[in-house]
Amino acid sequence: MNLDDFSDLIERPDGGLRRDAEERRERFVVPPGALGRLDELGEWLSAAQQAVPVRPIEQPRVLLFAGDHGVASLDVSGRAAGSAHELVRATLEGATPLAVLARRFSVPVRIVDAGLDCDPELLPEQVVRTRVRRGSGRIDIEDALTAEEAERAVRLGMAIADEEADSGTDLVVLGDLSVGGTTAAATLIAALCGTDASVVTGRGGAGIDDLAWMRKCAAIRDALRRARPVLGDQLELLATVGGADLAAMTGFLLQSAVRRLPVILDGVVSAACALVGQRAAFRAPDWWLAGQLSGEPAQAKALDRMALNPLLDHGVIVGEGSGALLALPFVQAAAALAAELPERAPASDERDEKDEERDGEETADSEGAAVGEPAGD
């Protein structure tokens, strides 16, 4: 498998239809520019859907890729190594911010186990049946995956994208449930952007103290030494310093772009996978939206490299897809406004109405004058 092959499969959203949507927007009773980014989003959706006016977002889905990372054993995370299955269980039970928001917005949630480090019996079969391997390797000293596992993970993500597209999903909110995932993500972003470990090291959604931050920075530095020699092959890069969940998410993003399925990215993990996807297929980011700023420096760097401007900046750092899900109503509002706002009456109609009013006034005046004239002999 060569991820660069996606470059020939992915097309940009329809530029002609986007121009049609822009022209239609100029005819709205609401002045152009008055709706800010809502206008831009509505036009983007028209191009993505190949529809003017845009169709409403009616079947969104939250998709979470789950996995554990061996590097978490270095105490670089606010959560214990191998505990990502607890996040999965809490989400399934409705006890996480993402689960609460999904329930409130009536959006179904799908969790895909790509590399959890737990006994399969701890979770429902529909979650764990997709697992590529149990946990990913410690990227500072060993590869996250074998070459075969990396390809399996990417193909898993591709299959999930096909399933969602075929089932009628019209927009995906993409997130992750991982422990140690931000360390792998920051390593990928630093490698692809050519930056130092300290520039991309954040404190993660769970929050870490200064000592843990220094351990995380050292782990990313060591992993970067292993990543740089394989930068020419994106699949090998994912195998070396990514992980099963990150490889699957990358496959999902690329195949979603092939299937013209729009995606809202959440935090640094999805941003890292998107950056790998961009390196493989430069048109792919045209199908993605950045839901929010997570506060992770690596995420900001990746989004800047892809020229993706986040929709929200509310200081939400909890991760797990919550920030991206908060952006969903904004996107749905853009679709509704673009589809339902009335257009101004055409100029010819306005002239006809004015002419009719003027003719009516002249008729009334002439009749009034006739009534006032003296009768003839």
Which amino acids are annotated catalytic? 320
Two structure tokens written together for 344: 């101004």
CA 200 to chain centre: 20
Reply yes or no: is the peptide bond before residue 229 cis, omega within 30 of 0. Answer: no
Q: What angle do CA 48, 326, 135 make, to 5 degrees?
A: 90
Alpha-carbon distance values, 239 to 118, 190, 244 (Å) = 21, 16, 8
User: Are 225 and 241 a contacting pair, CB within 8 Å?
Assistant: no
Cβ contacts of 122-131, under 8 Å, gap ≥ 24? 122/85, 122/89, 123/85, 123/88, 123/89, 123/92, 124/92, 127/66, 127/88, 127/92, 130/156, 130/160, 131/244
> Cα separation of 212 and 182, whole Å?
13
Two structure tokens written together for 215: 């351990």
Alpha-carbon distance values, 199 to 172, 194, 246, 280, 335 (Å) = 30, 10, 21, 24, 37
Helices (H), 93-209: 97-105, 125-128, 147-167, 181-193, 197-200
* Tokens 């390593």 -> residue: 187
In this structure, how many other beta carbons lie within 10 angstroms of the beta carbon of residue 68?
A: 29
* Tokens 């004015």 -> residue: 354
Two structure tokens written together for 366: 């002439």
